[in-house]
Amino acid sequence: MPDAFLNMATMGVIQTMQEFLVLTAKVFPFFLLGAVAGAAFQALLLRNWPDRLFGGGGLRPLFAAVSAAALLPGCSCATMPMAAGLKDAGAPRLGTTTAFIFMSPLLSPVTVVLTWAMLGWRMTAARVLASFAGSIAIGVIVNRFEEWFSGGRPATAKRAATTEGDKPACGAVCSDESGGSAESASSAARFGVALRGILRSVAPYFLLGMLIAAALSALLPEEAIPRFLGGSSGPWAYLLAALVGIPLYVCEGEEVPITFALLSRGLGAGPSLTFLLGSVGTCIPTMLMSRNVIGRRATVAYIVCWFVLAIGSGALFQVFSV
């Protein structure tokens, strides 16, 4: 018996490490692309366009951030380093950054077309409307109570202090490693400093999240999800779909064929939309990284909003699709 348990545990560790290598190899290019984009945001901030686009109050910066996120391809793990670059640059308010994080994995031109092709125009329209509504809502809420969500430190005052005396609000790129000013540093030097800073702050959480996601994938094969959820029905199906989908790592585009399989196995349209939104929107790696990007309180609001969005959108879709 002890030998059998030891063999089973050893196989589990081996499968987890194999899955970790496969997942990391699949996702790391997107993660690195996100880090490069975030560093570019910081390096280009000296030219003021990110501040004009995403900075300031009101709904305009929110709509700009959400629209930009919807046009950028990339999974939730690629979103975080981009958001870290925006945050370190100092341009967006906390709610605007949170809305960017919320929207980015939900929509892209590729996933919209794929959803339309496999799941139909009704599911596509529901996905688009729910994504914009949820992103704007969480952005408005976090911006409205920004001081509390930022831990009692008024972020607007912090940004004002950063830009005092017409100095650029450029966060980590205001000086290079040799102590020179940002004005004298080359664009390449500013970019390199920003990229290293983003990778140092986010990469450990990314790797830890990938390890947890790999363990879940090894214990819960992909074909088990449709088999498990396909037999559920009634109000509990929404909660179950959210609880299964939200912690699970699903790369951009993979949620569509899984949702198609759920529908073919008899799961209702509403719970299927709940799984689709929850599975692609966030996952354990994203949750771990977001705490370091937007803070603990905003991360809690982010996760709660995911549950509300996924379950609420699924329930409404079920009502209107009857």
Give the model's pLDDT for residue 138: 92
Domain ranges of the chain: 2-321
pLDDT at position 91 is 58
Residue 64's Cβ-side half-sphere holds a number of Cα atoms within 13 Å equal to 17
As a whole number of angstroms, the longest Cα–Cα distance in the chain is 72
pLDDT computed for residue 121 by the predictor: 92
pLDDT at residue 174, rounded to an integer: 42
Helix boundaries (H) for 90-108: 94-103
Give the pLDDT of residue 313.
Answer: 94
pLDDT for 314 equals 93
Tally of residues, the chain = 322
Q: What pLDDT score does 74 carry?
A: 59
**Is 14 buried (19+), middle (13-18) or exposed (0-12) by CB count in 10 A?**
exposed
Residue 8 CA: distances (Å) to CA of 3, 16, 211, 224: 9, 12, 19, 20
63-to-70, 79, 100, 110 alpha-carbon distances in Å = 10, 17, 9, 21
Distance CA 80, CA 85 (A): 9
CA separation for the pair 275, 176 (Å, rounded)? 45
AA identity, residue 138 = I
pLDDT tens digits in sequence order for the chain, 322 residues long = 566 767 777 887 888 888 788 877 876 776 677 667 667 766 665 455 556 667 667 788 888 888 888 876 556 666 777 777 666 655 578 888 888 888 888 887 777 887 888 888 999 999 999 999 999 999 999 999 988 888 765 544 444 444 444 443 344 444 444 444 444 457 777 788 777 876 776 677 667 766 766 776 677 665 566 666 656 667 888 888 888 877 776 666 677 877 887 787 778 889 989 989 988 877 777 777 888 888 888 888 888 998 999 999 999 998 887 6
Contact call for residues 269 and 123 (beta carbons, < 8 A):
yes
